[in-house]
Amino acid sequence: MSTLSSLPPSLRISVGLADIKVSKNPAVLLCSLPLGACLGIILYEPRLKMGGLLHSLLPSSKTDPIRAAKCPAMFIDSGLDAMLRKLMELGAAKENLHTYVVGGAQILDDATVFNIGRKNYEFFVNLINNTGLSIHGEDVGGNVNRSVSIDLGSGEVFIKQTGQNGLKTLCKR
């Protein structure tokens, strides 16, 4: 079993805010920064041991098409589309992709007036239902920051909650 600390730093790829990273190297660990209300969306192709991680802030690119054109990962719809295209260019088959989603917490809005995390997740579920993909695992909501990582070689998806020791395994192959 792989753990985050057992992999050499050179094989860890950090996925920042409004960022997408994809790889077909099975020795890579894709790691998000803390997500908060953002969503960390993983697409994984187990047959080819390749995948991608999207760290997205907001639901719909329709709210700011100019910004979405410059930075598709800022929005869930344009970011997911960009990640899917990149993976398919590397040889992934859409029908083999496994989807995982993490984040969508309510961090700064105690009154639940805005609750961007919930809106992000609801938008994602609606979007994913229209893409032919399905969610294979999720860790969303609540009021804690989390980060997500995927070991492309094993397909294991790890969750790290801020303030907690150790990792939670969302998916173990």
Per-residue pLDDT of the chain (173 residues; tens, 9 = 90+): 445 555 555 689 999 999 999 999 999 999 999 999 999 999 999 999 999 999 999 999 999 999 999 999 999 999 999 999 999 999 999 999 999 999 999 876 555 556 889 999 999 999 998 988 999 999 999 988 999 999 999 999 999 998 888 888 887 76
pTM above 0.75, yes or no: yes
Phi, psi of 123 (to 5 degrees): -65, -45
- Residues 41/20, Cβ–Cβ less than 8 Å: no
Among residues 163, 122, 132, the alpha carbon closest in space to that of 146 is found at 163
CB atoms closer than 10 angstroms to residue 171: 19
The CATH number assigned to the domain holding 24 equals 3.30.1330.200
Interatomic CA distance for residues 156 and 36, integer angstroms: 21
Domain count of the chain?
1
What is the extent of the structural domain holding 107?
A: 4-171
- Residues 102/53, Cβ–Cβ less than 8 Å: no
**CA 108 centroid distance within chain:** 21
